[in-house]
Structure 1
Amino acid sequence: MDLISDLLSPLSAEPGGMTPHLPEFPNIKCLAFDLYGTLLISAAGGPSLDRESILRDLLASEQLPEAPLIPILHELIRDDQETSRQKDIEFPEVDILEIWERFFFRLSHPIPDLARFALQYELLTNPVWPMPGADTLPQHLPLALISNAQFYTPLLLEKLLPLPFEDDLTFFSYQHRQAKPGTFLFEKLAESLSARNISPSETLYIGNDHKKDVIPAQLIGFRSVLFAGDARSLRTSPDLPPPDAIITHLSQINDLLPNS
């Protein structure tokens, strides 16, 4: 069974109610993106799903404790993050497969195919679908990606949004055990771009979260664009320095690039 095809269905973006701010950036040599909430609609940002019921239905076992299971999962994630913080990692990322393995061990529950189980749970609790305009991004420039992600994120990309992201310009948090809003992944991207003779000021970074996307991008020297195309995932912070641009549809990226 193809879980991604079977469990996902089209989603619609909800207007974010913001006004575009579209200055021109004449010297851009790379387009970098966040993923969830920017290139992929994420229903996790909308009305809360009953994760407890979803998890129990997936486990389909009579041996489960009566106490809620989701708090156990959250506790395991917090413990893992705290262990990383003790190693001076300010914004740690977990490996969700390790978390699920500990979860089943805690419950003394038979361990299923972890990758399949984790993917199924993710698809049911965080449905995604390509953002309008994601399939028409400018492709005359190298495409980069920085995402708080897990092992299933590349699978979703391949299935839903097979864009030509450059391998050396793609950074997933689970692979480095560090997450946004930390600057680590942005620094790694800047290093890879430097090898291509592309400076941070020649890089346009687009994301839906002011704190997790705009600010770390600015700290590294990238030009920052707040994507305000879906109210569910839009995260604004008026008390923080403003982005260099605001777009409400991905097609507006072309308006930012006078030489495109």
Structure 2
Amino acid sequence: MGGAGREGTGVPLMKQFRAIIFDIYQTLLEDGPGPPNAEARWQTLWKEKLKAVARLTLADFAVACDQAIAREHTSARELGIDYPEIYWPAVACEVLPELGRLPESELAEFLFQYAQIWHTIRLFPYAAELLSSLSKMEVLLGLASNCQPHTLRELDTALGSVGLPFSIFKPELCFFSFIHGFAKPNPHVFRSLFARLRKLRISPAETLMVGDRLDNDIDPARAQGFSAWQLTRLPMDKGQQSGDWNQLATYLNVAMVKSGQR
């Protein structure tokens, strides 16, 4: 990286940003609709993992889970917790007690396969190239995501498909809502990251938050003193701190490694 500067500033990236924290869904991972044969796949999942015929349709399971989640959210809000988060495996086991009898690894596999029924996942174009470049530089990478355990496997799988390890992200700079019981845009999310950065002697101003949503990612990060970049699907006009992955690379003054060059 050397002394290359950010476009138009002459400031080396390592002096400007010592840490970059990414959202996951719709930032690193593109979250699309599920396959058309969802109900058939649900029935197959039951037969393979639970050795039984599904006693709830896919739609009925979703409704029951939504009701359980609403109850948990209500209880948390009554305790003064804004933007509460659930632990998805516990909710699934409440709705389907059969799942609670599975070994932990088999439960995780069931829920991962279930997630693949209702959505499709892939890395955003050029995300791998920029992550590959950044992982070779003296900048710490982290994650801040409203997510569940299967999300981390989805990201690990997507990264692995392009030769990147999940370990490019520093555990101390990773916030996963399912672990803490609250989610973005709760100000405690970025306050927690603020405290962890201070331990590493990194200021919020030296940290860039990259996410797709103003309400969940950009505004809460800026409120805590972070810099922020709103990731968009399409290029944006110059002068705005937002744009697609190519514009983010230009903003950071980082040359992306192209496919086949890793």
Task: Tell me which interval the TM-score lies in, with the shorter structure as reference length.
Answer: 0.7 to 0.9
State the SS of the aligned residue for 2:60.
Answer: coil
- Residue 229 of structure 1: CA displacement? 1.8
In the alignment, which residue of structure 2 is the partner of 1:150? 148
Compare relative contact order (CA 8 Å, sep 6+) and give the higher one, 1 or 2. 1
What whole-Å deviation, never above 9, does each CA across 1:41-83 have from its counterpart, x for those lacking one?
1114xx8978667545533555726893321110011111112
Are residues 1:201 and 2:197 paired? no
- Residue 198 of structure 1: CA displacement? 1.2
Residues 65 and 95 of structure 1, relative CA distance in 2, 3 Å threshold:
closer
In the alignment, which residue of structure 2 is the partner of 1:132? 125
Q: What's the % identity of the aligned pairs? A: 26
Indicate conservation of the 8 Å contact 1:93/1:177, yes or no. yes
In the alignment, which residue of structure 1 is the partner of 2:46? 59
**Whole-Å separation in 1 of the counterparts to 2:157 and 2:38:** 24
What amino acid maps onto 1:59 in structure 2? W
- Aligned runs of 1:1-260 on 2, under 5 Å? 26=11, 27-44=16-33, 55=42, 58-59=45-46, 62=53, 64=55, 68-105=60-97, 111-112=101-102, 113-137=106-130, 138-139=134-135, 140=137, 141-161=139-159, 162-163=165-166, 164-229=168-233, 245-248=241-244, 250-258=245-253
State the SS of the aligned residue for 1:197.
Answer: coil
State the SS of the aligned residue for 1:43.
Answer: strand
State the SS of the aligned residue for 2:91.
Answer: helix
- Residue 171 of structure 1: CA displacement? 1.0
Indicate conservation of the 8 Å contact 2:35/2:117, yes or no. no
**Whole-Å separation in 2 of the counterparts to 1:41 and 1:56:** 26
List structure 1 segments (4+ residues) > 4 angstroms apart after TM superposition: 22-25, 47-57, 60-63, 108-112
Larger radius of gyration: 2
**Whole-Å separation in 2 of the counterparts to 1:253 and 1:157:** 20
Listed as ranges, the gaps of 5+ residues in structure 2 are 1-6, 160-164, 256-262
TM-score where L is the length of structure 2? 0.74
TM-score where L is the length of structure 1? 0.74
Indicate conservation of the 8 Å contact 1:223/1:244, yes or no. no
Residues 230 and 42 of structure 1, relative CA distance in 2, 3 Å threshold:
farther
* Alignment size in residue pairs: 223
Deviates more, 1:50-59 or 1:209-218: 50-59
What whole-Å deviation, never above 9, does each CA across 1:132-177 have from its counterpart, x for those lacking one?
1121222321111101111122222222222511111111111111
What amino acid maps onto 1:134 in structure 2? A
Indicate conservation of the 8 Å contact 1:224/1:244, yes or no. no
What whole-Å deviation, never above 9, does each CA across 1:71-120 have from its counterpart, x for those lacking one?
11100111111121122110111111100110113xx7885542221111
Indicate conservation of the 8 Å contact 1:24/1:257, yes or no. no
Listed as ranges, the gaps of 5+ residues in structure 1 are 1-21, 232-242
**Alignment root-mean-square deviation, CA:** 3.0
Residues 160 and 65 of structure 1, relative CA distance in 2, 3 Å threshold:
closer
Higher helix share: 2
